[in-house]
Structure 1
Amino acid sequence: MHASGAPVFYDHAYVSAYEQAPLTNADYSGSFVVRDGEDVVAVLPIYVQSAANPLRRLHEAYPEAAGQRVLLSHTWHCYDAHVPATAEVLPTLLDAMTRAASVLEARWWGFVNVERGNALSQQLRAAGLPARHLTDRWSTGLTTYERYLSGLGIRARANLRRNERRSKEAGVTVEVLPADHAALDDISLLCTKTATRFDTGGCYPGSTLTKFVLALGGLAHLIEVRQHGKLVAAGICLADATRFHTWTCGVDYAVDGRYSPYGVLFAESVKLAIRLGKTTLEGGRGNSDFKRRYGLSPRHLDAVLIRA
């Protein structure tokens, strides 16, 4: 689906991995496939969910939908909803979602994590479907690491350089690995603990996360940050045609030395994205103060939810 400009979350390997190791307890999962003759022009993953987590943000925006079955596209773990050839395809998909919601006994149906102002957002609005703000995702353009640093404020730039120096003095090492060579069980445990600390523990069930990342194959890039052999930070990153996604991470702040393991992980994520030739760093959702300080800009994400 990269040819359509779709993000990594619509890649066959990602959707297939989610089917093999669902990170959300969905009551139903499937996909709409839109064809023009023999050609596939759009694929839209759909899920029926009722669990409060990870849909807490959705229920904050739509409290009237809390505790009810909802037919959604995509899952919460996709922070960039996309429909290719939107103007031509969307009416067909809206009709299909309306009928599917009835068949699957969903009380609501719609889209989550729609970037405000993009083609999908505009066409949904044109169809008379109102949106409510969910959260923001954060991103920035990339060329070289020095240019990235030069675009930061003086203090942020100095912080990254000082943290790199201190981490090296503290014996920290960084390694980028494919999924099948990384310490996935340890990484999953660290990510789960970190998510729990930030009250999003339902997003990354440990053993399922390990299976999911393995199933991603070459889409995933694992960053391990270690001090004296101990895993102190880890990132699960994804890449599509032009963008590098820091999809989720785990951090242990109980370290020796005056450095931030998260700062080490973030800096390596930027460097890896540039080495891979990606022109956009996608920083995901949350942790807005850090991301704004280090050069990322917000993109407003909305939900469009319709009562069935």
Structure 2
Amino acid sequence: MDYTVRVHTSIDDVDERWDDLMAAARAPAFYRRAFLRAFEKHPLHPVLRTAYLLAEDGSGRAHAALPAYLQRDVDPMRVIAEHYPHAAGRTALLSHAWHCYDTVLPVRPGPRSRSAAECAVTALRDLASEWGAGLCGIVNADAAGPLDAQLTGAGFTGVDIDVGWGLPLDRYAGFDDYLTRALSGKARQNLRRDLRAAEKAGVGACTVDVGEADLDGFVRLARATAAKFGNADYYRPGLFQDFVRELGDCVRAVELRVDGRMIASALILTDDTRLHYWAVGYAQKDTPGFSPFYVSYAHVMREAWASGRDWVELGRRNPSFKRRYALQPRVLRAYFAEQ
């Protein structure tokens, strides 16, 4: 089967075929229209040009797709700096945005899915050449997934850049079962102790839609948390709030308060099969006797089972905590081709 790849520069230029393909491919929340539109309107990092590549058959049905962003000097995770330092200052055409830790190549299931994916990858390199990009690639992809063979076969070089973490929810009956069967005695006791101490301190938890969330409070807490790693501008004031509001009903906030003061806020995204614990900020001080981070984690995990999804995704970083709480690691890889 022959495919034609069409390049669109706005997600709203692509009709419902995009949504149909994402549903068929069970693509993560980062590929759904709400997230892509939000990133167009309020780009969380600078973008020079945006493209949506859509591989279609002769009838116009979409079989593979990729969002891609032309950028320069955007490297919040220091991936290019550490692995391709000679490419610093050159433009790069990359998929997906850096705020996505779950990069895939959405393809329609079927016997010709591989050829559709290969067509999309070829089109990505062709577009990089057309736009004069010095570097072309896909970042934050599962190293054990199908993209590894497809991209290395197409001449991309893979480098391990991070670790992503998640948990199959259907393995446990719920949060309490997870505590009992998955955790060591010490980890389980510590989390339960924090929950009791938070309850004694009068901490209240609520899960709210984006229209009710205190996003200014979230950004304040998240920037303070990220500042420990020198990355506070991952949450740029004003821009980040506007982006999250644009996400609409695919995002919710889990907020913790004591005496009216917010001490932790976590943002969760949902798609057809997963709940994503996407971002969190929490107070560094003034919470004696318990950790607002651990208490927030417990409430998000309860939300995960309540959502009815199969999997909870917990993104990158903080490996010691995630190992201790029995989360499953997967190597994240970046695949680059120099033009």
Q: Give the shorter-chain TM-score range.
A: over 0.9
Answer yes or no: is the 8 Å Cα contact 2:208–2:254 preserved in 1.
yes
Secondary structure, counterpart of 1:278 in structure 2: coil
Equivalent residue, structure 2, for 1:11: 32
Q: 1:159: Cα distance to partner?
A: 0.9
Distance 2:66 2:300 in 1: 29
Equivalent residue, structure 1, for 2:263: 232
Q: 1:88: Cα distance to partner?
A: 1.9
- Asked if 1:122 is matched to 2:149, the reply is yes
Per mean C-alpha deviation after superposition, the further-off stretch among 39-48 and 297-306 is 39-48
| Structure 2 residue corresponding to 1:292, chosen from 318, 323, 332 | 323
Distance 1:120 1:5 in 2: 15
Answer yes or no: is the 8 Å Cα contact 1:2–1:8 preserved in 2.
no
Answer yes or no: is the 8 Å Cα contact 1:2–1:240 preserved in 2.
no
Q: What do residues 236-264 of structure 1 show as CA deviations (whole Å, max 9, x unaligned)?
A: 11111121111111111212430000011
Secondary structure, counterpart of 2:284 in structure 1: coil
Secondary structure, counterpart of 1:299 in structure 2: strand
Distance 1:83 1:288 in 2: 26
Equivalent residue, structure 2, for 1:22: 43
- Counterpart of 1:170 in structure 2: which amino acid? A
Secondary structure, counterpart of 1:31 in structure 2: strand
Q: What do residues 265-291 of structure 1 show as CA deviations (whole Å, max 9, x unaligned)?
A: 100110001001122111110011111
- Asked if 1:204 is matched to 2:204, the reply is no
Q: 1:82: Cα distance to partner?
A: 1.1
Equivalent residue, structure 1, for 2:56: 35
Per mean C-alpha deviation after superposition, the further-off stretch among 24-33 and 36-45 is 36-45
Per mean C-alpha deviation after superposition, the further-off stretch among 249-258 and 269-278 is 249-258
CA separation of 1:99 and 1:123: change in aligned 2, threshold 3 A: closer
Q: What do residues 157-214 of structure 1 show as CA deviations (whole Å, max 9, x unaligned)?
A: 1111111000001111111001011111111222122222222223221211101111
| Structure 2 residue corresponding to 1:74, chosen from 90, 96, 108 | 96
Runs of 5+ unmatched residues, structure 1: none
Equivalent residue, structure 2, for 1:171: 202
Distance 1:176 1:94 in 2: 40
- Asked if 1:140 is matched to 2:167, the reply is yes
Distance 1:123 1:177 in 2: 41
Answer yes or no: is the 8 Å Cα contact 1:72–1:110 preserved in 2.
yes
| Structure 2 residue corresponding to 1:263, chosen from 290, 294, 300 | 294
Q: How does 1:182-193 map to 2 (within 5 A)?
A: 182-193=213-224
Aligned length: 308
- Asked if 1:218 is matched to 2:249, the reply is yes
Equivalent residue, structure 2, for 1:63: 85
CA-based RMSD of the aligned residues comes to 1.4
Q: 1:43: Cα distance to partner?
A: 2.5
Q: 1:125: Cα distance to partner?
A: 2.5
Q: What do residues 100-125 of structure 1 show as CA deviations (whole Å, max 9, x unaligned)?
A: 11222210101001101211122213
Distance 1:29 1:191 in 2: 27
The TM-score normalised by the length of structure 1 is: 0.96
CA separation of 1:297 and 1:243: change in aligned 2, threshold 3 A: same
Answer yes or no: is the 8 Å Cα contact 2:30–2:100 preserved in 1.
yes
Equivalent residue, structure 2, for 1:101: 128
Distance 1:3 1:206 in 2: 36
CA separation of 1:53 and 1:94: change in aligned 2, threshold 3 A: closer
- Counterpart of 1:27 in structure 2: which amino acid? L
Answer yes or no: is the 8 Å Cα contact 2:222–2:232 preserved in 1.
no
Secondary structure, counterpart of 1:131 in structure 2: strand
- Counterpart of 2:27 in structure 1: which amino acid? A
CA separation of 1:91 and 1:279: change in aligned 2, threshold 3 A: closer
| Structure 1 residue corresponding to 2:191, chosen from 147, 154, 160 | 160
Q: 1:69: Cα distance to partner?
A: 0.9
- Counterpart of 1:82 in structure 2: which amino acid? V
Q: What do residues 48-90 of structure 1 show as CA deviations (whole Å, max 9, x unaligned)?
A: 1112441413321222222221100001111111113351222
Per mean C-alpha deviation after superposition, the further-off stretch among 287-296 and 64-73 is 64-73
